[in-house]
Amino acid sequence: MAKIHEIKAESRKDEGKGASRRLRRAEFVPAVVYGAGQPPESIQIFHNTILLAAKNEWFFSSVLDLNVDGKVQKVLVRDWQKHPFKQQMLHMDFLRINENEAVRVNVPLHFLNQEKSQAGKTSGVVISHNLTEVEVSCLPKDLPEFIELDLADLKPGEIIHLSQLSLPKGVEIPALHLGADHDIAVVTANTVKEEVEAAPAEGEAAAPADASKDAKK
């Protein structure tokens, strides 16, 4: 079961670009909460709260307890806007969820024991992580913060597909219901062949010189 992560916020009435600029100058992030058959709600969150939370991968992939003026709502981060070069979040969108309905969320993959595997210890083998996250479907209470993939037994030339991931109870990967073509590679361990330039055989280098001598005669 996922951990509980609470984000504190305040309701706001002022809207528009001017109001948003004033909020940012006051070190707040303007945000909107919507969904679950309820009207959208404009809120504001202290910027440092968002800045610290956004450093954790769970912020973007977990069900959050959004505490607005003391009232807690279960939400997912659905969209965000960052400043192009400043360490500043400009706007957030949160989606309310129904705890009795399945949600679809991109969950990070954690790769374990790669360096201990035969593939990891073999010279000339390149291990590629083709995916770093995977979309899962489950009830909010079953949503994992991440999925672990143990690579301890990975051998050169092997491929690990989506269907080989070990999922928590109640969690599934929607893509696998679309057919075998969607069972894509998550990890590959390919052997890279080095091209070695062949050295010239004995006497070959001298041949042009000898030919030039013959031409002068």
What distance in Å separates the CA atoms of residue 47 and residue 113, rounded to the nearest whole number? 37
pLDDT score of 201: 57
Hey, how many other C-beta atoms are within 10 angstroms of the C-beta on 37? 6
pLDDT(212) > 70: no
pLDDT(174) > 60: yes
**Contact of 94 with 103, CB cutoff 8 Å:** no
What distance in Å separates the CA atoms of residue 52 and residue 36, rounded to the nearest whole number? 27
- Read off the pLDDT of each residue in 124-147 and give the average, rounded to a whole number: 94
One DSSP character per residue, 111-151 reads EESGGGSHHHHSTTEEEEES-SEEEEEE-GGG--S-EEEE-
| Topology (CATH) of 103-191 | RNA Polymerase Alpha Subunit; Chain A, domain 2 (2.170.120)
**Contact of 112 with 148, CB cutoff 8 Å:** yes
* Cβ neighbours for 58, distance < 8 A, ≥ 6 positions apart: 2, 3, 5, 145
H/E stretch holding 17 reads: helix 17-25
Rounded to 5°, the CA angle 150-110-74 comes to: 130
Domain boundaries, the chain: 5-96, 103-191
Beta strands 28-35; 89-96: pairing state: parallel
**Count of residues for the chain?**
217
**Contact of 175 with 182, CB cutoff 8 Å:** yes
One DSSP character per residue, 178-209 reads G-GGG--EEEEEEEPPPP-PPPPPTTTTTHHH
CA distances, 109 to each of 136, 140, 184 (Å): 11, 18, 15
pLDDT(210) > 70: no
pLDDT per residue as tens digits for the range 47-65: 999 999 999 999 999 999 9
Judge: domain 5-96, CATH 2.40.240.10: yes
- Read off the pLDDT of each residue in 68-93 and give the average, rounded to a whole number: 91
pLDDT(209) > 60: no
- Phi first, then psi, for residue 17 (nearest 5°) are -65, -40
- Phi first, then psi, for residue 59 (nearest 5°) are -60, -35
pLDDT(1) > 50: no
What distance in Å separates the CA atoms of residue 128 and residue 191, rounded to the nearest whole number? 11
